[in-house]
Amino acid sequence: MKNNRTAYPAVFWVANSIEVLERFAYYGIYMGFGIYLQQLGYTKGDLGIIQSIFLALSYIIPLFSGTFADRYGFKKMLIISYLAYLPAILLLIITETFSGIALTMLTIGFAAGIFKPLVSSTIRVTTDSTNKTMGFGIFYAMVNLGASFGPIVMGKLRGLSWDYVFYTAAASIGVMFLVTIFFYKEPERDLEGVTLKQKFKDMGEALSDIKFLIFIILLGVFFWMPFWAFFNVLAVYINDYLDTAALFIAVKSVIG
């Protein structure tokens, strides 16, 4: 007998909507950030320093933010993320020093790190065995939708002024803030009650498995490091070495 799929609650759709907006703002800035630094006179080495610390923060912070979310609630942690996100993006408009840009981007990485586990956790607790696969499919579609349109829209805007890029990203975060305040309802869930101490203990136990540790090191050195190194400089490479005007004309001749 075929099971009926459970309907998704309203907070599921609210969470997906803010995911689209966050990825739009995040990748809208991130994809062109190397070009921005280059136009200010900074080197690819400077880009590497900022982006390396940025990525480290955005992937380490979720270890902590997930624990605090279990204790204080998803909605409160989302709001904290926005309160870090919004001023950091706006500060990019007025600062052009290396230390100032580095600080603002690291703050954005910190905010993104807080945000990362909250929406996916919302999807997890608002789905069940009948709709979880499709629920996460929708979630990742929203991730890709925001990440695709962000660079396209911001690419058009930076042709006018980088300020428009940062204002648009800030506006996106502002809309997320309002949507969360008025429409995000804390989903019901069983609180795990896992402390940071217990998390680190569990991580230590996992890493004590030598085969698993070797796998993680190989994955990091031979996949993640080359992947992000390529990802971070791709826009700069295209900007420096490819004739994108010719590519645009070729594509236009096909799709109009």
Mean pLDDT taken over the chain = 89
**Backbone angles phi and psi of 62, in degrees to 5:** -55, -25
Q: What is the CATH number of domain 10-189?
A: 1.20.1250.20
- Own/partner contacts of 151-159, CB < 8 Å, gap of 24 or more, are 151/27, 151/28, 151/31, 151/32, 153/24, 153/28, 154/28, 154/29, 154/31, 154/32, 155/32, 158/32, 158/35, 158/36
Instruction: State the maximum Cα–Cα separation within the chain, in Å, rounded to a whole number.
Output: 65
Phi and psi of 130, rounded to 5°?
A: -85, -20
Residue from 65, 38, 51, 151 nearest 105 by CA: 51
Count of H-run helices and E-run strands, the chain: 11, 0
Alpha-carbon gap, residue 126 to 123, rounded angstroms: 5
Within 10 A of 225 (CB to CB), how many other CB atoms are there? 12
pLDDT in tens, 59-79: 889 888 888 888 888 999 999
How is the chain split into domains, by residue range?
10-189, 209-256
Tell me if 16 sits within 8 A of 142, measured CB to CB. Answer: yes
pLDDT interval class at 1 (50, 70, 90): very low
Q: 169 pLDDT band (50/70/90 cuts)?
A: very high
Check pLDDT > 80 for residue 48: yes
Least trusted range by pLDDT, from 2-11, 143-152, 157-166, 180-189: 2-11
Kindly report the pTM of this predicted structure. 0.88
Tens-place pLDDT, residues 87-97: 999 999 999 99
pLDDT digits (tens, 9 = 90+) for 99-129: 999 999 999 999 999 999 999 999 999 999 9
